[in-house]
Homo-oligomer: A and B are copies of this chain.
């Protein structure tokens, strides 16, 4: 097959892990006789520095003309004091909105050989395997007004949690579809005892559930979910929730696996053009040191092969190679224990390539 892939390394370790992903994709190209056309674009802080915009028009255009988008990570202290339209994150948020990437899939699976790196006791995390489905283009992230006001000398500020009913419906439906191919259970997370938007969310979840009689629906309050993820994570199959709750809970859940450096994600649209990125951030503290864990980025490319290109075999080959390397004790610094020598980013990529 022939595919156009837009590569947006972004900031910090985004560049390093993207290099790793490209290495792996080139190996896949060769083994499986595909042809990948890579095109690089700027986003985030790098784009602000060079083009004075966190999402230049060229980048957006290039993504639109591609079959899939791979993203590294954006952000860093360098741009922290910038005005809000010139912040790296604005580039990512604008891209999500422009491409209508409303369904963010974040699988959380613990790896047997890494259980020792988890802060949680083995019996709590062994066999954990769930998927967080996060709404990605609505809620507090995009609602208007989001502004400051002064009235009679009183300074106030407002952000807006806004949703269309249809937006809830499509993401919850997506979650049920995913659950059908898994353990047939959806946990819908909200704050229905306080928020009107959550009460609508709950209603929509019940409605959607009627169309999927083979899938069990459970409601859970977000504060309770934050506990349950720790004391009983094995109960979950598919968790579906709105944008901000999803942001918080998925980062929390990443800790079950021992490192944020392990978790891939897919951001899906209705159009067929999807984006794939690691859950981790740009980690400015270790950027440029060839230390970052490339696994999340590499597993994101596997998700791309599976979801965007229907290359199931190739995706599994990558996933198995990663598992093989980790099982044999080879790890980057985020996962090594005292006394162990960590592999560098590029060394680990080489190992994964060799294992393919």
Chain A positions near chain B (C-beta within 8 angstroms): 75, 84, 87, 89, 93, 119-121, 124, 140-141, 143, 146-148, 154-166, 191, 193-197, 199-200, 222-224, 226-227, 229-231, 244-245, 247-252, 254-255, 260
**Contacting pair B155 A158 (CB below 8 A):** no
Complex contacts, A223 vs chain B, CB 8 Å: 247-248, 250-251
Complex contacts, A155 vs chain B, CB 8 Å: 164-166, 200
**Contacting pair A230 B230 (CB below 8 A):** yes
Q: How far does the Cβ of A169 sit from chain B's closest Cβ, in whole Å? A: 10
Residue of B whose beta carbon sits closest to that of A246: B223
**Contacting pair B84 A119 (CB below 8 A):** no
Complex contacts, A248 vs chain B, CB 8 Å: 222-223, 226, 245, 248
Q: How far does the Cβ of A161 sit from chain B's closest Cβ, in whole Å? A: 4
**Contacting pair A93 B200 (CB below 8 A):** no
Q: A156-B162, A230-B252 are in contact. List 11 more A-B contacts (CB 8 A).
A: A75-B193, A93-B194, A147-B196, A148-B200, A154-B166, A155-B164, A157-B165, A158-B162, A158-B163, A160-B161, A191-B244
Compute how far the CA of A348 lies from the CA of B207 in the bound complex, rounded to whole angstroms.
45
**Contacting pair A89 B193 (CB below 8 A):** yes
Residue of B whose beta carbon sits closest to that of A260: B227
Max chain B Cβ within 10 angstroms of own Cβ: one of A165, A222, A226: A226
Copies in the complex: 2
Q: Given A195-B140, A226-B252, is A156 in contact with B148 using a C-beta cutoff of 8 Å?
A: no
Q: Given A120-B120, A252-B252, A255-B230, is A158 in contact with B156 using a C-beta cutoff of 8 Å?
A: no
Residue of B whose beta carbon sits closest to that of A162: B158
Contact of A165 among B156, B229, B254 (CB under 8 A): B156
Complex contacts, A89 vs chain B, CB 8 Å: 193-194
**Contacting pair B160 A156 (CB below 8 A):** no
Residue of B whose beta carbon sits closest to that of A224: B251
Q: How far does the Cβ of A144 sit from chain B's closest Cβ, in whole Å? A: 10
Compute how far the CA of A222 lies from the CA of B103 in the bound complex, rounded to whole angstroms.
21
Q: How far does the Cβ of A188 sit from chain B's closest Cβ, in whole Å? A: 14
**Contacting pair B251 A197 (CB below 8 A):** no
Complex contacts, A154 vs chain B, CB 8 Å: 164-166
**Contacting pair A197 B157 (CB below 8 A):** yes
Max chain B Cβ within 10 angstroms of own Cβ: one of A148, A157, A162, A195: A157
Q: How far does the Cβ of A45 sit from chain B's closest Cβ, in whole Å? A: 12
**Contacting pair A84 B199 (CB below 8 A):** yes
Residue of B whose beta carbon sits closest to that of A223: B251
Complex contacts, A230 vs chain B, CB 8 Å: 119-120, 230, 252, 255
**Contacting pair A226 B200 (CB below 8 A):** no
Q: How far does the Cβ of A259 sit from chain B's closest Cβ, in whole Å? A: 9
Compute how far the CA of A255 lies from the CA of B120 in the bound complex, rounded to whole angstroms.
11
Max chain B Cβ within 10 angstroms of own Cβ: one of A148, A231, A249: A231
Q: Given A148-B200, A226-B251, is A87 in contact with B156 using a C-beta cutoff of 8 Å?
A: no
